[in-house]
Structure 1
Amino acid sequence: MAEKVLVTGGAGYIGSHTVLELLEAGYSPVVVDNFHNAIRGGGSMPESLRRVQELTGHSVEFEEMDILDQAALQRLFKKHSFTAVIHFAGLKAVGESVQKPLDYYRVNLTGTIQLLEIMRAHGVKNLVFSSSATVYGNPQYLPLDEAHPTGGCTNPYGKSKFFIEEMIRDLCQADKAWNAVLLRYFNPIGAHASGCIGEDPQGIPNNLMPYVSQVAIGRREALNVFGNDYDTEDGTGVRDYIHVVDLAKGHIAALRKLKEQCGCRVGREGREGKETEAWTNGAQRGSKSSPRHGPCSPLWADLQPGHGHGLFGVTDGRGHGEGLGEEDPVQGGGPAGRRCGCLLCQPQPGPQGAGLVSSLRAG
């Protein structure tokens, strides 16, 4: 009988790709999501999961639920016998966390505490946690690795992820029956090879590639790239990217690792540092637009001059799935598609570190 795995926040970008990989690997995922960053499809099913069902030919069990609803979580765990939990649910915008810190601590911390308490009460002690590279704070050295100190976080979002990591570590230390893998993400990009599921954020995007895509299809006029005088190959900021399918497969590998009674393990999910303009150039084939220079309005994700390369969390590419034994990664040459308008702008003062995970904000 297929193992039942609870996936919180499983209707979102990374979650939906992971649910697809779970089904392909023979698991039986049960997904909960509150539609904070998901589109409703037919009936009560999120559109992303409806498409996952079509792609795999398998049904997905879904319940609309907020992890802050303790009574609903209790009912869910009484209904199902889970072998493990993959925990994505939470708020994730760096800039918004600076503006609404209490919301981030309430949702991310309180929600996770309630989830862990209910897991413990029902004897479910295997967890894969969606952490973030923001737990590293401003890098003390580059490339980053798992041994890099954590806790010097520069925003409430990163702090909430760091606090959760510490809670899970303490839990595993106090009760050796617990097993957890903490995956620190950098910037996921891309989509399933079918093109049927991908990143389609609700509201203002928090990552670079949705902006590139929206310019490519004409939804936005241009992509604003803040800063062109950093110490990089083309002068634009560097980000570390990972293909979302690689990331999803990494979760399956982490899930398998839990069976080895691994205790608490840490993994970095990032691969190759890439200049921002290089990505936009890679998406420019086949259109009439081209990069332009000009003024832009200051936004929270702008970076102060001089921080440049050091703020972007570039890794050496070895951390992805290290010790997890997953399959070879997706090998892609970058996003392909239409030529996109790209507006290069001078960086403006703003919260330091805001660009670590969230990439760019366009006007």
Structure 2
Amino acid sequence: MLSLIHQLQHLLQVCFSNANLHIWIQQAKAAIPIVLSLRQSLQNRIKTREAINPSDLQTLEAHCHDWLNGIAEYGEGKPIAVHKLDALVTEWVVLYTLLHRQYSNIPFIGPVPELVKQYHSHQCMELLQQWREGRGNVPVHAMYDCCVQIVVRRLENDETLYFEQMHRVCQLIKMVTRLDCPTDSAGAERLLLLLLSENCNDPIFIAQAFDCWVNRAQDTQSLTETLEYWLEIEQHILIWQQEQKPALYPHKQGCGAALLALVQKEREKLQLWQQPCLAAVSDDKLHRLNTRLTLSELAIIMRLLQETGVLQHRVMMDYFRSWAQWVQTGTNKPIAAESLKSRYYQPEPSALRKVKDLLLEMRNKLAEW
């Protein structure tokens, strides 16, 4: 095996010291049988568990590294040369991958070469594409795009990616594509749980996972039920956080810790919201805000405030309950949150016309100031 490494070293020196494209390609192709022989020798020794000198492995890995980086640099601006060497690039990538997977205990030299990242990124993207195409033209859940973005950000854009981290992403994508492609909430839930268990702490996924929970929280029927929902989510995180794997991004906060902080912040916000509501219920002398608007007109104003971002509330039923609690129309009759909700989503034409007149009146008033 050592003699093969020396032969390879000589060919590499000749190859990369030659500026003539034709000779360069010939010398590069001459290395293919050596690369294949080295790979076969490694596989045989792995099978028989024969020990190999760590320094020989480090030398071979360094040659892989130099060769792959050399192709990337030499082939820049020379697409014909790179195209002709596609087969050789593949053989080098396979040899490089075999070295790192079977001898992970050996301290190798550094980050993954660009061509290796491109090779594995292409494989992952093909897997994801086939996964999606298997569902036909059915729109997929946003969780699918999370997986695509993880490949792009980790395998294509991360300049200091080490082999263990790259291998982790590739294994994650393989696990993901064994699930059904998420086209509904149930499929998205399975994918979400898999990425949580794998400690996928990519910011895009963390934001998407939290948004999924927020959307479900909107289906709760009361503020108390919403708080109980978030408490249940928090307990689930604490349970699987005890058994989660190392983070996908080692230098960033783990998935569990990041999501736990978001959930706790959401709970604290709801608890603060709950305090004045509870005080209002117990206060018999509460002075409500009076309005000359009808219930339908009030619902339209509420929708304008929410959809233009003047007010921002995620749990819509609590939004309706708050207005029903604090506002009183000219009829002096209690406002039902369900009635507000109905008129909010199905505005009456006559109420729309009156609100348009009101907004014009407000605009004229503003011009006088």
| Structure with greater proportional helix content | 2
Q: Same fold (TM over 0.5)?
A: no
| Structure with greater proportional strand content | 1
Structure number with greater CO (CA < 8 Å, separation at least 6) is: 1
- For the superposition of Structure 1 and Structure 2, which TM-score range results when normalised by the shorter chain? under 0.3
Name the TM-score, length of structure 1 as normaliser. Answer: 0.26
| Larger radius of gyration between Structure 1 and Structure 2 | 2
